[in-house]
């Protein structure tokens, strides 16, 4: 029987139907750019100091010295009762009393927050500072816990209920629970809702990714997978600091970031279900109806018979050997690849989200820094696409990781007065890590055989979510040493870049079907093992010519 791509080749590659699916599905990713990194502004911590109440009975001189200098000013103050007694006796600080010898106390009356950058954030709303400062990074980490849960269940839901239904259901979850978040009455409610939003956010992204890859033709798929969804995600990310700059209140900002999701509702009547999925479910007539509508939209007359329903049914009923996650550890070769892939995805995710979440802590304006962090992703995705087209996967991934990690290590050598140079190095690091992040999806899928490819990529993706959960705490370490996050992320990124050279090369190689056919880890040359090369139409079956 002809395969799906051959049966639908009469549609062409870039007709009106494909263009609409490409751009509308990519556009549906824009709200993910808002949601995925909205914590940069929603959970930002402005400058703050202990509040001194008006009824403290302090003279102006004692009020001016009531806050200790330096880092202690954020969480400590001099004991107000003692200051009030000195003030009542007419003693002056510095001349009559050594201020540094006065006992200190916590900020018992709350804090005064600077409003130069933010009118309000969840930090100022619920005082997530000092002894409660751990709640800030925990909020972001729990969002990524939701992402982890969503990535685990979204694939199964998509296989069972359909790509289109899951796409719009998860967009509804992301948008609906974000709106409810606006009315949060405490930190616990906000964080619990943030977990659910995270589940919808990643499921929406994955469903759109799969739907586009299955509908679009061979030559369009890799462009959609690297430039389409990634570029539009970056567009959403770029719009985030623009919204935040003009809307400084966290509730109104969150509402503004949520509203664009409502504009995706009309797409339900435009974007079709995946014909491939319908065929896998035995719904052959529905799949053929979609293809005929696509042909009509492209101005093409379809053949009288597109699919042979009898052959499709026979193919569907074929029983294949079942595989489990234990097969990812079956042989020494696949164990090494699995271990390195999990490590690779986790560290890349730590670097990507760590640098993205750290933009408010960089020198200069946090809105400008966040915009630069977003816009640098566009050339990173373009470079990744070009490297995937023409260069070996192993060296491309390793070189971008080493570049990204090395420049982060140099930041500690930059004098403090050259803050702009530090920002340039951070953006170069983000460029390298983002390029690697884009390429690793394709590279990992090419390394695993068909029988366990989804499980292999899924395990690596879950490791990536673990990295994103850890990333806020890398940023948190900056409170103790501003260079420590960059040293850790840079060192880990360079290290995993070097380990990537141990993986086999897959560029231009036939995709393996069985575990025995996998490319060998040892050495740097291609060893086919027991495998007989598969040829189809005179060309190897490489990933760029298959559905991801």
Domain boundary among 113, 134, 168: 113
The DSSP bridge partners found for residue 539 are: 536
Residues 350 and 324 in one domain: yes
Average pLDDT for 204-217 = 78
Residue 212: count of CB within 10 angstroms of its CB: 28
Residue with the larger pLDDT of the pair 81 and 363: 81
What are the beta bridge partners of residue 50?
Answer: 111
Tens-place pLDDT, residues 370-425: 898 889 988 998 898 888 888 888 888 999 999 999 998 888 888 777 778 888 89
**What's the whole-number mean pLDDT along residues 280-297?**
81
Residue 295 sits in a domain whose CATH number is 1.20.1250.20
Domain count within the chain: 3
Same domain membership, residue 530 and residue 447: yes
pLDDT classification of 121: cutoffs 50, 70, 90: very high
The confidence band for 440, taking pLDDT boundaries of 50, 70 and 90, is confident
User: Which of 95, 113, 131 finishes a domain?
Assistant: 113
Is 43 in the same domain as 58? no
Residues 118 and 185 in one domain: yes
- Produce one character per residue of 500-520: b if its CB has 16 or more CB atoms within 10 Å, e if not: beebbbbbebbbbeebebbbe
Question: Which pLDDT score, from 0 to 100, does residue 531 have?
Answer: 42
How does pLDDT run across 179-189, given as a tens digit for each residue?
999 999 999 99
CA distance 278 to 286: 7
Does the pLDDT of residue 453 top 50, yes or no?
yes
Residue 507 DSSP symbol: T
Contact 201, 147 (CB under 8 A): yes
Give the whole-angstrom CA distance, residue 471 versus residue 348.
Answer: 10
Which candidate, 356, 271, 343, 261, places its Cα nearest to that of 41?
356
DSSP 329-378: GSSHHHHHHHHHHHHHHHHHHHHHHHHHHTGGGSSS-HHHHHHHHHHTHH
Query: What number of other Cβ atoms are within 10 A of residue 486's Cβ?
Result: 27
Mean pLDDT throughout 430-434? 92
Average pLDDT over residues 63-92: 82
369 and 479 in a single domain? The answer is yes
Question: For residues 306 and 316, what is the distance between their CA atoms, to the nearest angstrom?
Answer: 17
370 and 496 together in one domain: yes
Residue 314: its pLDDT value, please? 53
337, 473: one domain: yes
For 506-535, what is each residue's pLDDT tens digit? 777 665 656 666 666 654 344 444 443 444
What 531-534 contacts at long range (C-beta under 8 Å, 24+ apart), as own/partner pairs, is 534/510
- Same domain for 144 and 249: yes
Domain stops at, among 319, 342, 377: 319
CA angle 33, 39, 41 (to 5 degrees): 100
With beta carbons less than 8 A apart as the criterion, state whether 503 and 394 touch.
Answer: yes
pTM for the model stands at 0.78
Q: State whether 434 and 372 are in the same domain.
A: yes
Q: What is the 3-state secondary structure (H, E, C) of 261-280?
A: HHHHHHHHHCCCCCHHHHHH
Residue 407 and residue 299 share a domain: no
Phi, psi of 506 (to 5 degrees): -120, -5
Confidence band for 152, pLDDT divided at 50, 70 and 90 = confident
Integer Cα distance of 202 and 208 in angstroms: 10
| Residues 353 and 274 reside in one and the same domain | no
Quote the CA–CA distance of 391 and 387 in Å, as a whole number: 5
Range of the domain at 169: 1-47+114-319
31 shares a domain with 87 = no
Q: What is the predicted pLDDT for the residue at 243?
A: 93
* Confidence band for 191, pLDDT divided at 50, 70 and 90: very high
The residue among 276 and 168 whose pLDDT is bigger is: 168
Residue 8: burial class (beta carbons within 10 Å; 0-12, 13-18, 19+): buried
């Amino acid at each position: 029987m002809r395969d799906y791509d051959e049966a639908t080749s009469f549609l062409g590659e870039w007709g009106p139907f494909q263009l609409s699916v490409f751009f509308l599905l990519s556009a549906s990713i824009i709200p993910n750019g808002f949601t995925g990194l909205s914590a940069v502004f929603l959970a930002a911590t402005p400058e703050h100091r202990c509040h001194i109440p008006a009824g403290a009975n302090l003279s102006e001189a004692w009020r001016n010295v009531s806050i200790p200098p330096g880092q202690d000013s954020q969480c400590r103050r001099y004991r107000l009762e003692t200051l009030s007694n000195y003030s009542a006796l007419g003693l002056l600080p510095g001349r009559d009393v050594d201020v540094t010898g006065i006992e200190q106390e916590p900020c018992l009356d709350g804090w005064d927050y600077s409003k130069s950058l933010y009118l309000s954030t969840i930090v100022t709303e619920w005082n997530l500072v000092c002894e409660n400062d751990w709640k800030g990074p925990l909020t972001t980490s729990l969002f990524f816990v939701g992402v982890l849960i969503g990535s685990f269940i979204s694939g199964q839901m998509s296989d069972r209920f359909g790509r289109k239904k899951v796409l719009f259901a998860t967009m509804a979850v992301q948008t609906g629970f974000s709106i409810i978040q606006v009315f949060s009455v405490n930190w616990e409610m906000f964080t619990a809702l943030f977990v659910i939003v995270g589940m919808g956010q990643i499921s929406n992204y994955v469903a759109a990714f799969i739907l586009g890859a299955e509908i679009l033709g061979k030559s369009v798929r890799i462009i959609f997978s690297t430039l389409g969804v990634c570029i539009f995600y970056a567009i959403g990310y770029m719009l985030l600091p623009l919204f935040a700059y003009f809307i400084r209140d966290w509730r109104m900002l969150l509402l503004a970031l949520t509203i664009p999701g409502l504009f995706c509702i009309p797409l339900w009547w435009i974007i079709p279900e995946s014909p491939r999925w319908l065929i896998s479910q035995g719904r052959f007539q529905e799949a053929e109806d979609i293809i005929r509508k696509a042909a009509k939209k492209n101005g093409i007359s379809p053949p009288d018979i597109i699919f042979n329903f009898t052959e499709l049914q026979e193919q569907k009923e074929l029983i294949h050997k079942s595989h489990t996650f234990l097969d990812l550890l079956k042989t020494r070769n696949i164990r090494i690849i699995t271990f390195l892939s999990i490590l690779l995805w986790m560290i890349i995710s730590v670097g990507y989200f760590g640098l993205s979440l750290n933009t408010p802590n960089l020198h200069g304006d946090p809105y400008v820094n966040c915009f630069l962090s977003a816009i640098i992703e566009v050339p990173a995705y373009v470079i990744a696409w070009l490297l995937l087209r023409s260069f070996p996967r192993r060296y491309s991934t390793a070189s971008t990781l080493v570049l990204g990690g090395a420049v982060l290590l140099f930041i500690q050598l930059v004098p403090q007065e050259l803050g702009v140079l530090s920002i340039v190095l951070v953006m170069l690091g983000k460029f390298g890590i983002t390029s690697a992040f884009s390429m690793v999806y394709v590279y990992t899928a090419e390394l695993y055989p068909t029988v366990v490819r989804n499980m292999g990529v899924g395990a690596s993706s879950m490791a990536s979510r673990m990295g994103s959960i850890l990333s806020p705490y890398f940023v948190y370490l900056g409170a103790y040493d501003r260079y420590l996050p960059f040293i850790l992320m840079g060192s880990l990124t360079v290290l995993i870049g070097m380990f990537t050279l141990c993986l086999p090369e897959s560029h231009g190689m036939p995709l393996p079907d069985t575990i025995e056919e996998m490319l060998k880890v040892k050495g740097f040359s291609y060893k086919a093992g027991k495998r007989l090369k598969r040829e189809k139409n005179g060309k190897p079956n490489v990933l760029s010519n298959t559905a991801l």
